[in-house]
Amino acid sequence: QQQVKQSPQSLIVQKGGISIINCAYENTAFDYFPWYQQFPGKGPALLIAIRPDVSEKKEGRFTISFNKSAKQFSLHIMDSQPGDSATYFCAASGGTDKLIFGTGTRLQVFP
């Protein structure tokens, strides 16, 4: 019940395309859903986060869509750029704010 399931494991997108990464959770006590970006050899960096009282949040080229009834949320990267090539992690927390991370999606954006 503590798991966060993330897909796909890897994603290849052409420059300018849309990258979509999906996550699903089971624990209805989760109330905070961040997405992190991680480059090789670096720690994760927060990209964007959402709470379940809204269905969508947009920051620049990054959008989170949240479906509370389905217990799913997704990250959309519009106009994907080679600099977006990284590993993306969804996460969830509730109650104590320790983060439960998904297994990651390795995104490669080709020019």
Q: Which residues bind another protein (CB under 8 A)?
A: 6, 31-32, 34, 36, 41-46, 49, 51, 89, 91, 93-104
Q: How do 100-101 and 86-92 pair as beta strands?
A: antiparallel
Let me know how long the chain is.
Answer: 111
| Rounded least distance, CB 96 to another protein, Å | 6
Contact 61, 77 (CB under 8 A): yes
Amino acid at 71: K
Nearer to another protein, 71 or 101 (CB): 101
| Rounded least distance, CB 31 to another protein, Å | 7
| Rounded least distance, CB 9 to another protein, Å | 9
Residue 93, both tokens: 């927390």
